[in-house]
Structure 1
Amino acid sequence: MSEIILKCLEPRPMAIARLMLIPFAGGGASVFRHWAKAFPAHIEVFALQLPGREDRINTPPFTDWTEMIGSCHAAMARWPKLPIAFYGHSLGAVIALELARTVATESPERLQHLFCAARPWPGKSYPIEQPDIDSLDDDEFLSVMNERYGTLHPSFEIDEIRELTLPSLRSDLKLLNSYNYNRNQPLPSPLTVYSGVADPITSIAPLNDWQSETTSNFTSRSFSGGHFFLETCRDELLHDMVQKLTQS
């Protein structure tokens, strides 16, 4: 069985809180490699590394949601019970929501903040995300992804990287398609939703739909750029996250 790896981006043994970062479909922990230094010393930053990418390229990827979430829970259970916040981008936003729900159910006082980016509220489905991708060859698949997200990640411009990352991207989209949203108790923590003004995925949906997931403060903010604004607007994004975490 594949396992989830939680990579510490900068060890901070004296930390009193943690932040878990969860990447977009096909992405790995290295997406966040420069993020830890933006956060104060009391927050230790981790990135979730799904199998099938980067240093886990030869490990079979998850395609079943229940199995993947179970592996996440097992990995988190080995941590000390410190306060925790989650940031998830696109596919990662849905994973972050489900992990935040678990923390809130077990120890609601531990959940500090949920940041969901580049993803409509998962309680509704949207036609733009419905094409059957399994039957598409690589060129057709990339064309659909480009239409769906407005642009492909820059790494897909490099032939060698594209060849390595396409299988994990396909698997992650199967993973997302296996997800079934279930209404749950709203979270007790603040929830912030981020989007890119040129991202077709979030422009089709009212982001305020996410507000139903919390009984605490809800905010949304848009950045210039498209689906991958976490890279093009990284400094602005991190500044906003730091402000919200230090106010929590």
Structure 2
Amino acid sequence: MPKVAIKCLQPRPMATRRLLLIPFAGGGATIFRHWADAFPADIEVFALQLPGREERIDEAPFTNWQAMFDACADALLRWPKLPIALYGHSLGAVIALELARLFDNERPAQLSHLFCAARPWPGKPHAAELASIESLDDDRFLQAMQERYGELHPSLKIIEIRELTLPSLRADLKLLNSYNYATAQPINCPLTVYSGAHDPITTNTNLDSWRQETGNQFSHLSFDGGHFFLESHQSELTQDMISKLTA
């Protein structure tokens, strides 16, 4: 079975808490490369690296949700029982939710906070995502992605990077399409939802529906950005996360 990698962005052996960052479809751990600098010394920051991207470009990406999730669970449940927070962006938000449910079931009280960004509540997907686009030719695929998410990641404008990225992006959409949301017991930790005011995938959706996923505190913060506000508003985003993790 393929395995996931969990990359430490800045080793902190004396840290007492951990934060796991999970990227958007097609993205890799590198998008979070500067995030560790923003967090206090007692928080060690990690990023999930699925196969098929960056240094794992030669590995076959996951296209089946259960296989991917089982690999993530196997890796994370080997970790020491330190408090952990999860941040997921877009596809990563759905992965983060399911991992939060896993921790709640397997290691109660270990999960300190769940941060879900750029994603409608999974119990009611955005209508625009119901159509399958991953088999379209490159030009039509990119056009459909832009119509769906309002913008393409800047890296896709570079032909060499685009050729390397599109296979993992297509695979990740298949991965998301194979996900079936199921109602579960609300998690016990606080849940914060982030969105971009100009992100069409969360516009006209009821993001307060995420509230039912937690029995603890719920909050929603919108940034004046598009789907990739994690880059355009990185400072504001990480500062809000820190304020919630250190409260």
- Shorter-chain TM-score above 0.5: yes
* Paired letter, 1:198: H
C-alpha displacement of 1:204: 2.6
CA distance in 2, matches of 1:75, 1:191: 23
Tell me what 2:73 maps to: 73
C-alpha displacement of 1:130: 1.6
Q: Quick check: 1:207 aligned with 2:207?
A: yes
CA distance in 2, matches of 1:85, 1:229: 20
1:67-111 CA distance string (max 9 Å, x none): 000000111122111110000000000000000100011122111
* Paired letter, 1:80: P
* Paired letter, 2:108: P
C-alpha displacement of 1:134: 3.8
1:184-236 CA distance string (max 9 Å, x none): 00010000000000000011311100000001100000001100000000000
Tell me what 1:91 maps to: 91
CA distance in 1, matches of 2:111, 2:172: 26
1:1-248 equivalent positions in 2, closer than 5 A: 1-247=1-247
Q: Is the contact between residue 186 and residue 215 of structure 2 (CA under 8 Å) also seen in structure 1?
A: yes
CA distance in 1, matches of 2:103, 2:12: 22
1:112-161 CA distance string (max 9 Å, x none): 00000000000013320022214411100000000000000000000000
Q: Is the contact between residue 126 and residue 202 of structure 2 (CA under 8 Å) also seen in structure 1?
A: no
- SS of residue in 1 equivalent to 2:18: strand
CA distance in 1, matches of 2:76, 2:11: 16
Q: Is the contact between residue 134 and residue 173 of structure 2 (CA under 8 Å) also seen in structure 1?
A: no
CA distance in 2, matches of 1:92, 1:128: 18
- SS of residue in 2 equivalent to 1:155: helix
RMSD of equivalent CA atoms: 0.7
For structure 1, the residue ranges without an aligned partner over 5 or more in a row are: none
C-alpha displacement of 1:53: 0.3
Mean CA deviation greater in 34-43 or 124-133: 124-133
CA distance in 2, matches of 1:155, 1:55: 16
* Paired letter, 2:237: L
Would you identify which runs of 4 or more consecutive aligned residues in structure 1 move more than 4 Å? none
- SS of residue in 2 equivalent to 1:122: coil
CA distance in 2, matches of 1:121, 1:132: 19
CA distance in 1, matches of 2:63, 2:18: 27
- SS of residue in 2 equivalent to 1:199: coil
Q: TM-score, normalised by structure 1?
A: 0.98
- SS of residue in 2 equivalent to 1:148: helix
Provide the aligned length of Structure 1 versus Structure 2: 247
* Paired letter, 1:36: A
